[in-house]
Amino acid sequence: MKYIGLLFFIPMLAQAAHCFIWDYPEKDSIYDSEAGMIIDDTYWLRQALTALGHTFVMDTVLPSNIAPYAVVFAMCGWFDC
């Protein structure tokens, strides 16, 4: 009976997506006053995915086979005028 509460967590675990973050190989960072540190262009995306319970892999090289991933994010840096 005490394990019945775990049944409510199974749908949340089943919905966790496996994401790939392709970080275009560009050294681009800014100081973010909200974060209180220097961040790159993937920082807030990684924070959001982690807070939502999703798993992700991040690399500067786009893999030739993206089939294992539910979603692919292409982060191409900041827009600078």
Whether the CB-CB separation of 55 and 19 falls below 8 Å is answered with: yes
Overall domain count for the chain: 1
Give me the pLDDT at residue 3, please.
45
pTM of the model as a whole: 0.68
32 lies in which domain range? Answer: 21-60
Give me the pLDDT at residue 2, please.
44
Give me the pLDDT at residue 12, please.
46
25 domain-assigned: yes
Give me the pLDDT at residue 19, please.
92
User: What are the CA-CA distances from residue 45 to residues 13, 15, 17 (Å)?
Assistant: 20, 18, 14
Q: Rounded CA gap, 33 and 17, in Å? A: 30
13 domain-assigned: no
Which tens digit of pLDDT belongs to each residue from 57-75?
998 888 899 988 999 998 8
14's enclosing H/E stretch is helix 10-14
Whether the CB-CB separation of 21 and 45 falls below 8 Å is answered with: yes
Using 70 as the pLDDT threshold, list the residues of the chain that sit under it: 1-17, 25-26, 78-81
Q: Rounded CA gap, 37 and 39, in Å? A: 6
72 domain-assigned: no
